[in-house]
Amino acid sequence: MRPEKDHERDMEIMVAEAPVADFRRAAVDLHKLLEPSAIAVIGASEDTKKVGGEIVANLKLGGFTGQVFPVNPRSREICNYPCFSSVLDIPVAAELAVVAVNAPQVPAVIRQCGEAGIPLAVVLSSGFSEAGKPGAVLQDELNRAIAESGVRVVGPNCIGLMNVGRRMFCGFGPGFRNYALATGPVAMVTQSGGFGFSVVGLCNHQNLRFSKIISTGNECDVSTADIIDHILDDDEIRVIVAYIEGVKDGRRLLEVGEKALERGKPILCWKVGNSNVARAAVASHTANLSAPYELFKAAFASSGFIEIREIEDLVDVARGFLGGKIPKGRRVAVVTTSGGSGVLMADRCDEAQLTLPPPTPSLLDRISAMLPPHSAVANPIDLTAQVGNDAGRFNRVVKVFAEDPAYDQVLVRYGAVQSPNAPAWAEELASIARNTEKPLLVAWSRVPDRSSQALIILEKNSIPWFVTPGRAVTAAGALADFSSRRQVLSRSRRAESTAFKKIHLNLPPAAGSLGEGASKRIVRAYGIPTVEEKLLSLAEIGELKKSPFQFPVVMKVESPHIPHKTEAGAVITGIRSLSELKKGAQKIVASAQEYRSDAAIEGVLLQQTCLGTELILGAFVDECFGPVVVLGLGGIYAEILKDVTRRFAPISETSARDMILELKAAPIFKGYRRMPPLDIDALAVAISRLSYLIVHHGSRIREIDINPLFVGSAGNGVVAADALVILNAASAPGAHRMD
Amino acid sequence: MRPEKDHERDMEIMVAEAPVADFRRAAVDLHKLLEPSAIAVIGASEDTKKVGGEIVANLKLGGFTGQVFPVNPRSREICNYPCFSSVLDIPVAAELAVVAVNAPQVPAVIRQCGEAGIPLAVVLSSGFSEAGKPGAVLQDELNRAIAESGVRVVGPNCIGLMNVGRRMFCGFGPGFRNYALATGPVAMVTQSGGFGFSVVGLCNHQNLRFSKIISTGNECDVSTADIIDHILDDDEIRVIVAYIEGVKDGRRLLEVGEKALERGKPILCWKVGNSNVARAAVASHTANLSAPYELFKAAFASSGFIEIREIEDLVDVARGFLGGKIPKGRRVAVVTTSGGSGVLMADRCDEAQLTLPPPTPSLLDRISAMLPPHSAVANPIDLTAQVGNDAGRFNRVVKVFAEDPAYDQVLVRYGAVQSPNAPAWAEELASIARNTEKPLLVAWSRVPDRSSQALIILEKNSIPWFVTPGRAVTAAGALADFSSRRQVLSRSRRAESTAFKKIHLNLPPAAGSLGEGASKRIVRAYGIPTVEEKLLSLAEIGELKKSPFQFPVVMKVESPHIPHKTEAGAVITGIRSLSELKKGAQKIVASAQEYRSDAAIEGVLLQQTCLGTELILGAFVDECFGPVVVLGLGGIYAEILKDVTRRFAPISETSARDMILELKAAPIFKGYRRMPPLDIDALAVAISRLSYLIVHHGSRIREIDINPLFVGSAGNGVVAADALVILNAASAPGAHRMD
């Protein structure tokens, strides 16, 4: 039983520069999708009960001002539009085709659109990948038609799209027959047409108005991310709403989320299909595969996506952003006329990680003079009903908080909004708002109908208002999150120049796990320290006169076939004598052989015992999101207590540091009780290095586990005590396009 | 340095039966509070801008049908009611006094009420404990007047109360001038009058109607819990809403919460003042001390309190309960006409710990026949817009799910509610609802105004409906939680006969920490096993020829003055030789002396090394909630990762088991991966025993920490490796009245 060293020989490491992969895909030009001058409706019908009839009727009745060309060989005229027997007969080049023919005809129709020079098509027809295997075959055929014709396709299996401002009601179903819909600064991109339009209806009822609504269906070509990307450049749109069940390219989603931060436009997002049971439902509803929710959450947390759960969240957060002001930080002042509301808002601020700095002495001076004696000046400040009835006095206090540099946002809850002086109060508040760059949010707590005059004044002045104090805090929290993420993004962009250069690894060509020694050499090649160790055969151990390392030592079986050594009884820790060592080596080899009789055993690895806190650091290539790095508290705690944080590779050392401090166990790193702080610097370097390792070699390396990684106290570094690398085969078709 | 054994001598343990303390206080008779035949208004005024004027006007204009007796020596008539110069002059015995005089006069007025035979008073006057030190003195005086007169008092510093059905608008502020308010089956008890009435107004706007509203102010006598207790017996009320900043008697709150479960009436509760900053705001707003939020959460989780955060939650959960049906379990069927809604509801069910059992073969058979071919029969089931337009077919499917014993609730989201056949659909649904005991909840997803006819039909038939699918799930979750808690309560009530008998402990009279040995003897007296150990002096250790226990052993300094031994460097674990043992003993004694030079060192405790999983098990007496037991994963994880669960003592073994399985680390107990399951039985016994120990001796024992408690694999028991008992002085005034 001599250790086989094939892997080692294969793995001579060459240090060299190599290009870093680029994950970004080319964006689709969707310029004409929502602004076409001419639309061809292929599969148009005189029967408005059919989809192809309803579309033409909706374009007509909605008042679309562009040209409409119905296509149907059996009709001469539909809704007074002359009808063509083929898309090739249309006299001008339509800029958009809407396709409502039967599924099997769709690929041929797309090819015809290509011949006719139509760059974009929306396919409403269903019967594709959502309809089992025959449908999936048809969708493959459609994809070929798309690739060969160059036509870009939205759908299939969608319900259409709408541009309210252009009176383009281009779809079917009850949502499209609401011609009275008023336009506004919000857009919706939805993978569920029915759900999306019910949201539009409910929001409209609360004065939140949409201008552009796109249902994306199966997304065989143009994706939710492509459409969001396009809309982010649309000056008319200031808030985007998305309903997402799953995406095929998570990286692209992250990319448009970052663009949203840059543009200052939030994407308010329902991400559904997150539970196992919901994933089953998604699978039968669309053909998308949902990546685990945790990765979506990680993508959202570093970009402009703000998760919402209910219509109320959507309305509130959108109102906050439509105010047009992004706070500089998380510090909030709360001015109320009800102690109860103040307490509730303080709780909610705490939950939203908004801080409530107490008034400074100079602020105290200015405010105290405005209040009756014995009033408690604090933050939240309760001006009581007494001051609340004096709108002027109330607003003087608001103005002082708004002017104080210690606060980034001011939340106001005014109790006397039903009184006749409410409009005057609102006008005054508007003049305060005009003179500050800080968001000024108003909680109303009254039935809106009774205060409509004041509300109109607030709305005219872009002052966001909310039905309850808690809902005002929801909006304030979202604004602060958006601002924080924008700061983090710009910081990490600045840090990107520290990218680690690619190091060539000669990896063995076959798929499968590497042994511990081989795995550690890869980790070491990227500059992550590994434990001192020696691989010996049982015979060599039998002949030892002294331990190669100071006791206590650790001992493990080295085998590429036993990735989970503890489970196999192939590890002993805390060995304190030579006789323990010799006996132990026999025992673990026997255990390993019993655990898996065909395991190739390459020897016994003797290691120095590591000191420090146990972590697990890993990286893998996700089908949807590409290379991901995972960090967790070690042992079983990461798994059971779910104290795990995730980031998309590559990761700068700055971002790695954020990642560490995101763990619930972060207090341990900062020095808990009398324990010394841990070496965050060294850990951040290790995280960043591992992230480049998976980026550079993600086409071959499917997964890397460093478990445990020991982190010493500050200055004492990190050391990988074990590592496991799992490879794809050299030509694995599932490998991510990266290398 | 001989061990001092004073504590040991004091602590001879006598096993004997002793009575178990009773935490329950006598309830107040509030019968006349909301149903008085005659009200005296003391401090009445002819000026309706004054509180004492507004009250009388509100009683008059609101249409109160009982007698009203204004009391003011300077008036002859107020609002056409003859006025009296003193409460003693009123010809009949008023059943309720409303007091609006200046604060300093209030105590005398209460005494007069006593003389006049008025059993209850509502004190609106402010200037008591909410107003700093002079106010607190006045409140003490008020408390003496209450005790001596026998009059029970609501307030002071409240805004009054309302019984809409009796037209009793008995308070001041804008909320009381809304005479058009319609009555309904909901009651509100609120510590913030302003906030409470804004909630009533907003709910009323959504057709959720209140009949009884009580603002409780400073609660110097009658508490929120007293009033809830009373209202739970009121047949007119089916749902109670509470706004709570803090309570003085948490046990009583828990008790009424349990009564709520028994009565089948939920208490929908805003618990605010939970963050540190909010607690500061509460302190200046009312005089209550908020117990840490975690204890409130523990009390809610085992009783009929359902926490809410927003008006929408309140409206939805109340609607769910007003349907009048409590589900038997957590199994839900979801029937939709939109895949998107189904996916969203599945996610939300998962979050709410509702399960979605897939259809059984027999159910599949029944339903498949009703659907077009190729429809996916699942749960959630998406009947698509096609079936959605056929109300009859849709409801046939709903009926099959409602009849199937595999489901406890049915959630329906019907897409075609704007169609002309919606009323017929609603009628049919009502007939299904009449024939089932299961809650049938309807998600609407449309602007209510457009479907009002169908909604009226649902409301008439007590079918709860919701604006969005997510909100329907919120209600379903609350119904299931209420049902689960009711089952747990009845199970633990049945188990109560297993109460552990009191064991007398002769505790030393002084306050302070006991040493480890003394602490462990107490723990052992209640049957919790402790580690085998031996207390030796340094000299005795120096003379040892062999270790008293098998290596590895643990060694600690024994001193009542060093409760945190690890911090003091006074612990060594894993000692494997006699020489290590001798050197180590010198070292830890030196460390301990350096850590605290005046510490009395009683020796060095040698212990067997324990095996198993480390937990922390503790008990303490909370000022507000009384004796509490806390269980957490050991080491720093309980504190940092907050994997901790809490229960109020005494705790049956059955409840202790629930407590263990509530930990996030519960998978470890059940046997994680290849690890054996832990001894849950033995741990449950230990928890229950500790709970009786703190119940029996809570007047002296302030706190007990068993840290670590090692739990072995199933059958191998638990063992306390360390314990710390902290005593109150024998006559400590702060001690809870229990023993």
- Cα Dmax for chain B: 100
pLDDT for the residue numbered A310: 92
Domain with CATH 3.40.50.261 in chain A: 325-492
- Mean per-residue pLDDT, A530-544: 92
Give exposure, B641-672, as e/b (b: 16+ Cβ within 10 Å): bebbbbbbbbbbbbbbbbbbebbbbebbbeeb
CB-CB neighbours of B94 under 10 Å: 29
Interface check B643 vs A, CB under 8 A:
yes
Q: What whole-number distance in Å separates Cα of residue A237 and Cα of residue A228?
A: 11
Q: How confident is the model at residue A281 (pLDDT cuts 50, 70, 90)?
A: low
Q: Answer with the residue of higher pLDDT: B505 or A421.
A: B505
Name residues of chain B where pLDDT drops below 70: 1-28, 278-291, 373-375, 385-389, 416-418, 447-450, 495-498, 635-636, 732-739
Of B281, B449, B673, the CB nearest to A342: B281
Q: What whole-number distance in Å separates Cα of residue A334 and Cα of residue A344?
A: 11
pLDDT for the residue numbered B194: 85
pLDDT for the residue numbered A7: 40
Task: Supply angle C-alpha A499, A500, A504, rounded to 5.
Answer: 140
Strands lying side by side in the sheet with A440-443: A381-382, A332-336, A409-413, A440-443, A465-466
- Mean per-residue pLDDT, A626-653: 87
Q: Which residues contact B115 (CB under 8 A, 6 or more apart)?
A: B88, B149
Q: Is the pLDDT at A639 greater than 90, yes or no?
A: no
pLDDT for the residue numbered A498: 63
Question: Of all helices (H) and strands (E), which one includes residue A241?
Answer: strand A239-244
The hierarchical CATH code for the domain B325-492 is 3.40.50.261
Mapped to the 3 state alphabet, what secondary structure does A253-294 carry? HHHHHHHHHHHCCCEEEEECCCCHHHHHHHHHHCCCCCCCHH
Neighboring chain B residues of A274 at a CB cutoff of 8 Å: 347, 350
Q: What is the CA radius of gyration of chain A?
A: 31
Query: Are the beta carbons of A350 and B664 separated by less than 8 Å?
Result: no
Query: Are the beta carbons of A643 and B641 separated by less than 8 Å?
Result: yes
Domain with CATH 3.30.470.20 in chain A: 613-727
Contact B166, B65 (CB under 8 A): yes
Interface check A273 vs B, CB under 8 A:
yes
Structure tokens at A580: 């323990």
Architecture (CATH level 2) of domain B613-727: 2-Layer Sandwich (3.30)
Q: What whole-number distance in Å separates Cα of residue B228 and Cα of residue B241?
A: 9
- Mean per-residue pLDDT, A479-488: 96
Q: What whole-number distance in Å separates Cα of residue A16 and Cα of residue B587?
A: 53
Interface of A with B in 404-443 (CB under 8 A): 415, 418
Nearest-CA distance B10 → chain A (Å): 34
Residue type, A472: A
- Tracing tokens 């919606």 back to the chain, one arrives at B422
pLDDT for the residue numbered A422: 84
Q: What topology is assigned to B532-608 in CATH?
A: Dna Ligase; domain 1 (3.30.1490)
Q: Which of A216, A272, A277 to mutate to test the interface with B (most CBs of B within 10 A)?
A: A277
Residue A121 DSSP SS3: strand
Query: Are the beta carbons of B665 and A641 separated by less than 8 Å?
Result: yes
Contact A639, A707 (CB under 8 A): no
Structure tokens at A507: 């990896």
Q: How confident is the model at residue A450 (pLDDT cuts 50, 70, 90)?
A: low
pTM, entire model:
0.89
Query: Are the beta carbons of B202 and A446 separated by less than 8 Å?
Result: yes
For B51-75, the DSSP string reads HHHHHHHHHHHHT--SEEEEE-TT-
Closest CA to B36 of B166, B191, B134, B194: B166
Q: Is the pLDDT at A14 greater than 80, yes or no?
A: no
Query: Are the beta carbons of A284 and B376 separated by less than 8 Å?
Result: yes
Query: Are the beta carbons of B664 and A641 separated by less than 8 Å?
Result: yes
Q: What is the CA radius of gyration of chain B?
A: 31
Of A202, A343, A664, the CB nearest to B467: A202
Nearest-CA distance A613 → chain B (Å): 12
Q: What whole-number distance in Å separates Cα of residue B288 and Cα of residue A275?
A: 41
- Please provide residue A308's backbone torsions phi and psi, each rounded to the nearest 5 degrees: -125, 160
- Please provide residue B194's backbone torsions phi and psi, each rounded to the nearest 5 degrees: -60, -50
Minimum mean pLDDT range among A326-330, A342-346, B226-230, B492-496: B492-496
Interface check A445 vs B, CB under 8 A:
yes
pLDDT for the residue numbered A13: 39
Q: What whole-number distance in Å separates Cα of residue A54 and Cα of residue A60?
A: 10
Of B194, B567, B664, the CB nearest to A640: B664
Q: How confident is the model at residue A110 (pLDDT cuts 50, 70, 90)?
A: very high
Nearest-CA distance A376 → chain B (Å): 7
Query: For residue range A506-535, what is the model confidence (pLDDT) as tens digits?
Result: 899 999 999 888 999 999 999 999 999 899
User: Looking at chain B, which residue has its C-alpha nearest residue A568?
Assistant: B674
What ipTM does the predicted assembly reach?
0.87
Query: Are the beta carbons of B284 and A668 separated by less than 8 Å?
Result: no
Q: Which residues contact A233 (CB under 8 A, 6 or more apart)?
A: A263
Structure tokens at B500: 């552990």
Residue ranges in A211-249 assigned as alpha helix (H): 224-232
pLDDT for the residue numbered B683: 97
Q: Is the pLDDT at A609 greater than 90, yes or no?
A: no
Q: How far is CA B247 from CA A510, B26, B282, B310, in A?
A: 67, 16, 12, 21
Domain with CATH 3.30.1490.20 in chain A: 532-608
Domain with CATH 3.40.50.720 in chain A: 31-319
Residue B351: which region, alpha, beta or left (left: phi > 0; alpha: psi -120 to 50)? alpha
- Altogether, the residues listed in chain B come to a count of 739
Q: Is the pLDDT at A107 greater than 90, yes or no?
A: yes
Question: Of all helices (H) and strands (E), which one includes residue A617?
Answer: strand A613-622
Residue ranges in B132-267 assigned as alpha helix (H): 132-149, 193-204, 224-232, 250-263
Query: Are the beta carbons of A284 and B447 separated by less than 8 Å?
Result: no
Q: How confident is the model at residue A448 (pLDDT cuts 50, 70, 90)?
A: low
The per-residue pLDDT of chain A, averaged, comes to: 88
Interface of B with A in 466-505 (CB under 8 A): 467-468, 470-471
Neighboring chain A residues of B576 at a CB cutoff of 8 Å: 576
- Cα Dmax for chain A: 100
Structure tokens at A346: 């303080």
pLDDT for the residue numbered B9: 37
Q: Which residues contact A456 (CB under 8 A, 6 or more apart)?
A: none
- Tracing tokens 């020489």 back to the chain, one arrives at B579
Contact A126, A103 (CB under 8 A): yes
Structure tokens at B204: 């009323």
Query: Are the beta carbons of B340 and A576 separated by less than 8 Å?
Result: no
Closest CA to B588 of B550, B610, B555, B629: B555
Residue A481 DSSP SS3: helix
User: Looking at chain B, which residue has its C-alpha nearest residue A379?
Assistant: B281
Give exposure, B341-350, as e/b (b: 16+ Cβ within 10 Å): bbbbbbbbbb
Instruction: Compute the CA torsion angle A633, A637, A643, A644 (nearest 10 deg).
Output: 60
Contact A568, A592 (CB under 8 A): yes
Contact B116, B90 (CB under 8 A): yes
Task: Supply angle C-alpha A47, A124, A260, rounded to 5.
Answer: 135
Closest CA to A646 of A292, A125, A342: A292
Q: Is the pLDDT at A680 greater than 50, yes or no?
A: yes
Query: For residue range A262-272, what is the model confidence (pLDDT) as tens digits?
Result: 999 999 999 99
Beta strands in A72-135 (DSSP E): 77-78, 81-82, 96-99, 120-123
pLDDT for the residue numbered B459: 92
User: Looking at chain A, which residue has its C-alpha nearest residue B644?
Assistant: A641
Give exposure, B245-284, as e/b (b: 16+ Cβ within 10 Å): bbbbbbbbbbbbbbbbbebebbbbbbbbbbbebbbbbbbb
- Mean per-residue pLDDT, A541-563: 89
Contact B554, B608 (CB under 8 A): yes
Q: Is the pLDDT at A326 greater than 50, yes or no?
A: yes
Q: What whole-number distance in Å separates Cα of residue A409 and Cα of residue A237?
A: 24
CB-CB neighbours of B145 under 10 Å: 21
Multiple choice CATH, A31-319, 3.40.50.720, 1.10.10.10, 3.40.630.30, 3.40.640.10: 3.40.50.720
Query: Are the beta carbons of A665 and B641 separated by less than 8 Å?
Result: yes
